[in-house]
Amino acid sequence: MVNSVNISGESVINHIKQIAQKLGATVIRKNRESLLQIPGSLGSGFFRATEFSYGLSIIEFNALFKYPFALHTTNDNATLKLIFNLQNNFEYSPKPKLEYTIEKYDSVFHSLNSSKNCYFKLPANASLSIFVILIDKNIFESKIKEVDIALDPFLIKLFKELKEKKFVYNQSKFSLSTSKLIEDYKNNTFTGFMKHVYQEAKINEIIVNFFKQYVDDQQPDKQILRKYTLNQIHDAATIINAELDNLPNIKVIANRVGLSQNLLQSGFRYQFDCSVHEYILTLKLKRATYLLENSELTIAEITFEVGINSKSYFSKIFKEKYGLSPRAYKKQYKLSRSSLD
């Protein structure tokens, strides 16, 4: 049983061809794209490679292996590698005797200068979705020289290290915007020339997003939402729902889920289209409508019950939300109920 493949060279199209020869599989070649279906004896899924202009190429792994599978690569050219892990964990070695666990929603930036041998160790019985961008380093550096712009100091330092052929390895969680761009790349419905142009544009957007994310990673208070932070946003929403009657302040909620207040607010706007404060008010108003419909409490008592300090403020925001004052809402509800009876 084949569970390890060695590939070499710069062309990702040739990489797929080498994998296919080792696995005894057939490659489907169309224009500048090659697709290899994983044999059923090894698992399911595919490897796909696409080459673009200006030294850009892509390899996608979408697979479920029956046995652990290792992919060793040797590249003779100076290459920049961006890896995005969309599903289960795997191991990656950027150079001999150095191995990292790449977790779900991790991105990796690796320069193949001093180390041109690396490998992926892919686990058995785990759905894998790995998206790899390869960038010709020489072409990339020439593009930077052509553009006369002021760079962020962190990018100046990074590009200097790349130019000096130092070992560069960066691993962090990728952003929500990057996740969306990868989805757009994968799920587009274009064909032929339009598909190729669209995907190449998305790859360049992903690269731009990565460098924005890289700069943000160097800051003590991150501003860019990461894909994995959605879980923390949902945790915060769960806390708010569960503890609405005795709710801690927003700073405490942010600390409990491991986010800054800025990221918590950004996450709520992304996920719920409102600020944390607006989300809390919406829950309180929903609770108020229940009490108006199902209790004999006065408006003042309901105001106190839902944790709003001012009766006039409660009436104002209730009318803005439902188009009626609390008193009119209660009256209308009773009339509608009596007509049904």
Record the tokens describing residue 92, joined without a space. Answer: 């990656």
In a domain, 253, yes or no: yes
pTM reported for the whole predicted model: 0.79
Rounded to the nearest angstrom, the gap between the alpha carbon of residue 297 and the centroid of all alpha carbons in its chain is 47
- What is the number of other CB atoms lying within 10 angstroms of the CB of residue 173? 20
- 47 shares its domain with 171: yes
Record the tokens describing residue 123, joined without a space. Answer: 């686990």
- 207 shares its domain with 301: no
- Give the confidence band of 340 by pLDDT, cuts at 50, 70, 90: low
Q: Any idea what the CATH number is for the domain that residue 291 is in?
A: 1.10.10.60
Q: Any idea what the CATH number is for the domain that residue 175 is in?
A: 2.60.120.10
Record the tokens describing residue 87, joined without a space. Answer: 């599903």
Q: What is the pLDDT of residue 100?
A: 95
pLDDT, tens digit, 9 for 90 and up, residues 5-40: 888 877 899 999 999 999 889 999 988 899 999 999
- What is the number of other CB atoms lying within 10 angstroms of the CB of residue 293? 13
How many whole angstroms separate alpha carbon 85 and alpha carbon 89? 8
How many whole angstroms separate alpha carbon 334 and alpha carbon 330? 6
How many whole angstroms separate alpha carbon 138 and alpha carbon 27? 30
- 55 shares its domain with 136: yes
- 262 shares its domain with 292: no
- 246 shares its domain with 288: no
Task: Tell which wins on pLDDT, 159 or 174.
Answer: 174
Q: What is the pLDDT of residue 96?
A: 81
Residue 114 has pLDDT above 70, yes or no: no
- What is the number of other CB atoms lying within 10 angstroms of the CB of residue 124? 12
Angstrom CA distances, 244 to 265, 276, 313, stand at 18, 12, 18
Place of tokens 């806390």: 239
In a domain, 223, yes or no: no
Determine the average pLDDT of the residues in 56-60: 94
In a domain, 189, yes or no: yes
- 11 shares its domain with 52: yes
Residue 66 has pLDDT above 80, yes or no: yes
Q: What is the pLDDT of residue 216?
A: 87
Q: What is the pLDDT of residue 10?
A: 77
Q: What is the pLDDT of residue 225?
A: 83
- 313 shares its domain with 298: yes
Task: Tell which wins on pLDDT, 292 or 147.
Answer: 292
Q: What is the pLDDT of residue 201?
A: 95
SS (H, E, C) the chain: CCCEEEEECCCHHHHHHHHHHHHCCCEEEECCEEEEECCCCCEEEEEEEEECCCCEEEEEEEEEECCCEEEEEECCCCEEEEEEECCCCEEEEEECCEEEEECCCEEEEEEECCCCEEEEEECECCCEEEEEEEEEHHHHHHHHHHCCCCCCHHHHHHHHHHHCCCCCEEEEECEHHHHHHHHHHHHCCCCHHHHHHHHHHHHHHHHHHHHHHHHHHCCCCCCCCECCHHHHHHHHHHHHHHCHHHCCCHHHHHHHHCCCHHHHHHHHHHHHCCCHHHHHHHHHHHHHHHHHHHCCCCHHHHHHHCCCCCHHHHHHHHHHHHCCCHHHHHHHHHHHHHHHC
- 285 shares its domain with 262: no
Domain containing residue 153: 4-217
* Structural domains of the chain, count: 3
